[in-house]
Amino acid sequence: MTTIRNNGPLMAEIGRIAEVAGYLWTNGWAERNGGNISVNLTGLLTSEEMVLPALALATPLQEAMTALGGHVFYVTGTGKRMRYVAQDPFANGALIRIAPDGKSYEVIAEQLVAPTSELPSHLLMHNYLRSSGRDNRVVLHTHPTELIGMTHCKPFLDSKVLTRTLWSMIPECRIIVPKGVGIVPYETPGTIELAHATIRQLEKHDVVFWEKHGILAVGEDLIECFDAIDTLSKSSKIYLSARMAGFEPTGMTDQQLDDLVPAFGL
């Protein structure tokens, strides 16, 4: 019998998912079932594993994910807590395989866990990135307190203003999030409308805020997606600590920010 647990590289990737799920919880970004993760595992599966039998009937997708036909993803389960994903990723998430026509998916391993309610956003983002030739295997969505807090302030609902404010708190932020951040105005969680608004922001950014809800990062590597959000979170904490102490932080100057571009090959 084929068991994915014998696949070393695959299990190493699942281990990284568990590691990051633990960070989300310990950082206080994952209240109850807050946040979700998807990782494209297609390149890590053997040809036998790619054709594992489905554990249940196929579930139709709202839209055809034409660039994802045949791809296999690990996705966290809906209602599942990150603190438990960290302990047991297979009891709190599943491997799903997209049908060749991109119109449905099947759960193929290891347990019959229903995918996150944000599957429309995750899959549409993967679909958009693949069809634009971008090699991003990962979508990470989480609920970082201070970053969400900033989206409750109207002036920060402008991508340029929010990016400039966060970049200017600490040089690393400009370096680690070079494309800045996009913002999606509030939409009901889990909807295809939210998904469509999100992929529009991916044209220019690898990190996107959902107003009054959370943040998403896309990338080749889950740890790097986490690091990008963690760095932005650090900047927001510096900004808000200064405001709580009663002063407006000076922030780095335009020149100081621009000097980072050649210095770090941005």
**Which residues carry out catalysis?**
118
Among 18, 20, 21, 33, binds ligand 13P (CB under 6 A): 33
Cβ pair 95, 110 in contact under 8 A: yes
Q: How far apart are CA 209 and CA 57, in angstroms?
A: 34
The nearer residue to ligand 13P, 139 or 169, going by C-beta atoms, is 139
Residue 87 binding partner per list ligand 13P, Zn ion, none, with a CB distance cut-off of 5 to 8 Å that depends on partner kind: none
In the stretch 131-170, what mask flags binding to ligand 13P with x, by CB under 6 A? Answer: ----------------------------------------
Q: Total binding residues for Zn ion by CB under 5 A?
A: 1
- If one asks whether residue 28 binds ligand 13P (CB under 6 A), the answer comes out as no
Buried/exposed 188-212: b ≥16 CB within 10 Å, e otherwise: eeeeeebbbbbbebbeebbbbbbee
- Interface segment toward ligand 13P; rule CB under 6 A; list 1-9, 27-35, 125-133, 196-204: 27-35
| Residue closest to 21 by CA, chosen among 72, 74, 76, 73 | 76
Place of tokens 């295809």: 192
The number of CA neighbours under 13 Å toward the Cβ of 219 is 20
Span 205-224, contacts to Zn ion by CB under 5 A = 214
The nearer residue to ligand 13P, 98 or 195, going by C-beta atoms, is 195
- Interface segment toward ligand 13P; rule CB under 6 A; list 7-15, 74-82, 84-92, 245-253: 74-82
Q: How far apart are CA 202 and CA 183, in angstroms?
A: 10
- If one asks whether residue 118 binds ligand 13P (CB under 6 A), the answer comes out as yes
**Shortest distance, position 116 Cβ to ligand 13P, whole Å:** 3
Q: How far apart are CA 242 and CA 250, in angstroms?
A: 9
Q: How far apart are CA 10 and CA 89, in angstroms?
A: 12
Cβ pair 160, 99 in contact under 8 A: no
Copy the structure tokens of residue 16: 């990284």
Cβ pair 91, 113 in contact under 8 A: yes
- Interface segment toward ligand 13P; rule CB under 6 A; list 71-79, 86-94, 128-136, 175-183: 71-79
- If one asks whether residue 117 binds ligand 13P (CB under 6 A), the answer comes out as yes
Q: Total binding residues for ligand 13P by CB under 6 A?
A: 11
- If one asks whether residue 120 binds ligand 13P (CB under 6 A), the answer comes out as no
Copy the structure tokens of residue 50: 């790619």
The nearer residue to Zn ion, 42 or 117, going by C-beta atoms, is 117
The nearer residue to ligand 13P, 34 or 89, going by C-beta atoms, is 34
Q: How far apart are CA 127 and CA 114, in angstroms?
A: 20
Contacting positions for Zn ion (CB under 5 A):
214
Contacting positions for ligand 13P (CB under 6 A):
33-36, 76, 78-79, 116-118, 189
